Amino acid sequence: MAFVFRYFAVFLLLLGVSLPGCYSFKGISIDPNIKTFFVLNFENTAVNAPPTLAVDFTERLKDKVRTETPLKLNSDAPDAEFSGRITDFRVVPVAPKPGETVSLNRLEIRMQVNYTVTLEQVEGSWPNERTFSHFAEFGNDRDLLSVQDELIRQIADQLLEDIFNAAFNNW
């Protein structure tokens, strides 16, 4: 029985490798003509955002695409390109207590992102910039500066996942 299973598994593997079409790597689909990518430095137009937020996000997006796809980073003539800007960074009270005291705050980050495939024969570019936003909550007993780095990391993780899925999974 194990003998038959091994041959069947090898057959499926060879079939998957031999079929023409898109790359499938960690559940994503990328046209095989797309070999390179680049991420332009994100702009930070959000008031109150940390000055390094855009640069950090740019580098994290490069790392995510580089490690989770077969694409190679190329700044000269990339087949696909990301660009964008951070448009909003704010703290919003979300759970007022009786007597107008806020018990919970929410840090929200919003950005505009564009994904362009530069190859003429390949579709996949977004026709317009897309808006992505996420938030993380923290109690009123904590100062934003004491939790800001942790919250930004949590929010950025989700934003990166959403942008990645929108570009490579057509979400």
Output 94 or 60, whichever has higher pLDDT: 60
Per-residue pLDDT reduced to its tens digit, 6-17: 554 444 444 344
Enumerate domains of the chain plus CATH numbers. Answer: 30-168 (3.30.160.150)
Q: Which two tokens stand for residue 35?
A: 């070999």
3 state SS of 51: coil
Torsion of CA 106, 112, 115, 116, to 10 degrees: 180
68 pLDDT higher than 60: yes
Per-residue pLDDT reduced to its tens digit, 49-63: 999 999 999 999 999
- Asked whether 71 and 96 are in contact (CB, 8 A), the reply is no
Vertex 160 angle, CA 39 and 95, to 5°: 135
What's the chain's average pLDDT?
84
Tell me, what's the pLDDT at 1? 53
Average the pLDDT over each of 27-31, 76-80, 88-92, 164-168 and give the range with the smallest value.
27-31
CB 30: neighbour CB atoms within 10 A? 24
3 state SS of 19: coil
